[in-house]
A and B are shown apart, each in its own frame.
Chain A
Amino acid sequence: MLEILWLIPAIPLAGFFLLSVMGGLFSRKAIAWVGAGSIGLSALLAILVGIQFFSAPPAGYVFRQSLWSWIEAGEFASPIALHLDPLSLIFVLVVTVVGFLIHLYSVEFMEEDEGYRRFFAYMNLFVGAMLILVLADSLILLYLGWEGVGLGSYLLIGFWYQDPSNGYAARKAFIITRVGDTAMALGLFLLFTSFGTLDIPAITIAAPQTWSPGGQRATLAALLLLGGALGKSAQLPLQTWLPDAMAGPTPVSALIHAATMVTAGVYLIARMHAIFELAPAVMALIAAIGAATLLLSGFSALTQSDIKRVLAYSTISQIGYMFLALGLGAWSAAIFHFFTHAFFKALLFLGAGAVIMAMQDEHDMFKMGGLRKKMPVTFWTFTAGAASLAALPLVTAGFYSKDQILWYAWAGENGSPWLWAAGALGALITAAYTARMVILTFFGEAKREPDRKPGVLITIPLVVLAVLALGSGFIELPHNMGEVQLFSGWLSHSLPSVAIKEGLGAGEFTFQLAASVLVLGGLFLGYLFYLRRPELATATKRSFAGLHRLWFHGWGFNWLYDQLFVRPFEWLSAVNRRDFIDYFYTTIARANRGLYPLLSRTQSGRLRWYAFGIGLGAVIIITIIALS
């Protein structure tokens, strides 16, 4: 049964192939069937494989499937092989199931788009690449998937290619992530040089035996891999591409820039945990980056007016939580937050898409409002997702996953009060901007009438995701609330668990209470500023105009990178367009041409000149001979 594993990535890729080569012959209906059907089939197989794996786990909780030999050069040998273990299974399930729901939604959402076939072809390509990424047995195959999702992301951000600004956003995403990818490639070279293989299980075994903790090589390798993760997961300092990536169609944002691809960095670090555990300094760095990212982008989210940009910054911020957890060594907590985040963030984007569609492509929340009554299903499902994002205590999945991270930030062996404080403050900010977003969009007076109701294909994914956004947290409950550990227990077969500090005074409950109070406080702030007394919001905005601008523009990173990298590069290219090295050669040529008339003048045809020349030459030669 597990042998069908290869079909899970193969079917979406086949869908891509079919649509791009023969899709011209298909009707729109057929395109939808192939496009969404392939992911549906893949999801179905993933569930079957999951059930099989769960009920009768293979030896060592690992199933390996070798497909064909890929690159064999000298000592380097890497087959194309898939690797299924609890960690990759969770990613496969999320990618295919959420992916399918989003494809279903797109069937209706993209209905009137000219590039219907192109859209589904790209989406299928993306899902196929993502599945290869998470199923890869070796780092080089993982890199193939890694770059493949980069391509999918590039194509989909720039999907509406006739507008150059979309093309700009797409290029920006690709090139900035490529900076990280290049670091990662160097990391692969280093790992291969050290271990003679890029096989992930082999490295996982060999690393602790060959490298000592905190060693130079381990630290360097971890840093280089981290570079790749930072790019894909849009963490500081490579986060600037994600807000612009919202230029793509909304389902794309839901699938790629929220639920799946951007968590690839989280996956990479968890997958290579053996390397990172040997580099405690890098782990501390990851935690610090996570904490800083979640705060900075949280503040930015507070100031956005474009609903998709709020969600984009919120995505960066939530992945910051995952990085925080990774840095603490709380591997399964990070993956758990990925799991719940995939549901609620996909839901929020899809809900936002439904709103945007109903508002004639209006993205500005300040021009919406009052949609609560007019789009009830969207409102309720969106609110469910928002509650989960804000980590509303007890009833949402987001609460349980975020609570776990906060607890380890304090109590984990690498935890510290600072990290906890950052996470807790982040929870307050998250609640505040979430409340602001829901209120501006759905409450208050209507500034514009929605002109279409979401149909069945849009509603179903919203409802299913809403259920998951609320309910999926109950598979993992804290010690003091029933202690269900389905998720972390399952993951313990792939990832080590985190040790708790000893002699902690305060109990877990105190922290849960504190976090809950902060969340409720944040929600209240949102309520106060945007529903109860909106004049407060405008007044604050006016008195902190400079800060508001800084946050609104994502802390000026774009400006900085423009000055530091883009402008100098463009300047250099423009100055040296004609290649100054060529001047060297053209100067030789010109000098020769200049000499030519000079020499040709000696060919005067006058006998006495020639006789003079011969005589002079003879004198010179004789002198030389005589003197030497």
Chain B
Amino acid sequence: MILVWFLAILIGGGLLAWVASRWNRELPRWIALAASSANLILLLAFAASAPAGEAGKPGLWLAEFNTPWIPSFGVHFHLAIDGLSLLLLGLTFFVGALAALVSWTQIREQVGFYYFNLLWILAGITGVFMALDLFLFYFFWEVMLVPMYFLIGIWGHENRVYAAFKFFLFTQASGLLMFLAILALYFIHGQNTGSYTFDYSELLGTELSGTAATWLMLGFLAAFLVKLPAVPFHSWLPDAHTQAPTAGSVVLAGLLLKTGAYGILRFAIPLFPEAARQFAPVAMALGAISIIYGAKLAFAQNNLKRLVAYTSVSHMGFVLLGAFAFNVIAYQGVVMQLLAHGISTSALFIITGYIQERLHTRDISQMGGLWKAMPGMGAVALLFAMASLGLPGLGNFVAEFLALLGAWQAAPLWAAVAALGLIFSSAYALWMVQRALHGPPPEKATLPRLNVREWLVMGSMVGLIFWLGLYPGPILNSADGPIRTILAPASTETGPPEMDEEQGLLLPEHENTTKTTKLD
């Protein structure tokens, strides 16, 4: 039931925020903050109450909710979370709260509608991380999209309409391909077994011919690779990030991109294990290319936001590289990267927002010497630039190290190419620090220092990035079981004896089916 609450709080909060703006312009932001924080607290309480080590057990749903939605088509309102979704939900609610906090004074127009959109995006993302019915998953996938379109198109910067439209077209076109693949899978499974259902666990073992599996997987991947994004499907991202308001960029980079990665891990690979394995060389190559190409483009940018946006392309390349390496080490790296990138890139966008509020520009060539004017913010910016280039001790290092180490086991060559990204990332990160923070101080030598709210946001992110870097144990534990479950179908092909060993993994599926039949 708690899973429904997560959604209800966000959806209800969104509506409430919209309505509340009629009475008081300051109420909506408080409602948005309260809704995200309430979810975060609920989630933490839930995680704390779960028996120790439970989160790490393979193939076990920590919480589940299942009720028929459109029975005639076999559509269920089926939500469930495991250790992986747990982590991503934690990230969602945390970043959601930050997004509310950074919009605090930045958003002055249509405040109610703004926070309504913000909370509904969060609801869509939350749904994506929990949905276990493919129809429901697609539904939430679309729910994320529309409010985001508004967020960019209404509250964005000068070229916002173009960016919002581009974002919408890319996501919608690729999402459509995924929907076709979902439908095809639905019919093939129905013809094979006679039961027409969108249920994830039932579709898992669908027998497909090699070509069919490949095409369907490509349909799913189309949506996920655009969202991730991977080169060459990335070109919506710099525009969307650059034009979105700060909170929009934060949610885009911190959360929305993660849904692409989550889709690959939860759907594309487990549903089509064989096809995914065959596709691995291409995917790993795309990952490595994204790392290098994104970093190179980041280096060339003059718009600070655009620069940070391209670093996302580079960082998410590690996710693609690791996800198709098919081993536990790489997958742990991927999960760590989702969290670490979610925090570090959000932080860089927020810092850009702070600078914009003070200097009224995002043009890096008009900055310089900001360290002198705002030493505290300078130190934090430096820290996250270091996180971005993968400095050990910070979360991104653990992520990139594990992803590369795992990738090396699968394809040393691509791992080596990807490792060149370590050099390129130091080039853009240090060049950014040089142009924004160092150099002669600006004419306006005194800028307003960060206030308490801004420090609260930064402080929590600094704490988290160190935590991820120095004591990632709890995260790795929580992701361990789900990772093994994802990898299980792929590794069972090695022989029947292993399958017996991992029989336990299939247990929850049986549970699900029984439950489903009962509810039917």
Contacts and interface: CB of A to CB of B under 8 A. Distances in A.
Interface stretch (B148-156, B178-186, B201-209, B229-237): B229-237
Interface residues of B, number: 57
Identify the 5 closest CB pairs spanning chains A and B, nearest first: A74-B328, A73-B332, A573-B300, A144-B392, A161-B438
Contact of B404 (A144, A162, A185, A584): A185
A171 interface: yes
Interface of B: 166, 231-232, 234-235, 238, 296-297, 299-301, 327-329, 332-333, 369, 371-372, 379, 386, 391-393, 397-398, 401-402, 404-406, 408-409, 412, 415-416, 419-420, 422-423, 426-427, 430-431, 434, 437-441, 470-473, 476-477, 480
A581 B232 contact: yes
Contacts of A161: 371, 437-439
Interface stretch (A173-181, A340-348, A501-509): A173-181
A189 B472 CA distance: 20
Nearest to B404: A189
Contacts of A167: 434, 438-439
Interface in A126-162: 140, 143-144, 147-148, 151, 154, 158, 161-162
A20 B375 CA distance: 11
Interface residues of A, number: 49
A596 interface: no
Interface in A179-206: 179, 181-182, 185-186, 188-190, 192-193
Contact of B332 (A20, A74, A140, A174): A74
B471 A75 contact: no
A202 B238 CA distance: 46
A292 to B, nearest CB: 24
A80 B416 CA distance: 26
Contacts of B430: 154, 170-171, 174-175
Nearest to B232: A581
A352 to B, nearest CB: 26
Interface of A: 20, 68-76, 80, 140, 143-144, 147-148, 151, 154, 158, 161-162, 164, 167, 170-171, 174-175, 178-179, 181-182, 185-186, 188-190, 192-193, 569, 572-574, 576-577, 579, 581-582, 584-585
Nearest to B434: A167
A69 B473 contact: yes
A158 B422 CA distance: 21
Contact of B393 (A144, A162, A576): A144
Q: Is the interface of B mostly helix, strand, loop or mixed?
A: helix
Contacts of A73: 328-329, 332-333, 402, 476, 480
A249 to B, nearest CB: 16
A99 B231 CA distance: 47
A80 B470 CA distance: 9
A61 B133 CA distance: 60
Contact of A182 (B379, B408, B422): B422
18 contacts: A71-B402, A72-B477, A75-B328, A75-B329, A76-B402, A148-B391, A161-B438, A164-B434, A175-B423, A178-B423, A182-B419, A182-B422, A185-B419, A185-B422, A186-B415, A193-B409, A576-B297, A581-B231
B253 to A, nearest CB: 18
A178 B391 CA distance: 11
Given A20-B379, A161-B371, A572-B296, A182 B423 contact: yes
B438 A158 contact: yes
A74 B423 contact: no
A340 B165 CA distance: 67
A573 B422 contact: no
Given A71-B476, A76-B405, A147-B392, A179 B423 contact: yes
Contacts of A80: 470
Contact of B386 (A151, A179, A573): A151
Contacts of A581: 231-232, 234-235
B471 A70 contact: yes
B222 to A, nearest CB: 14
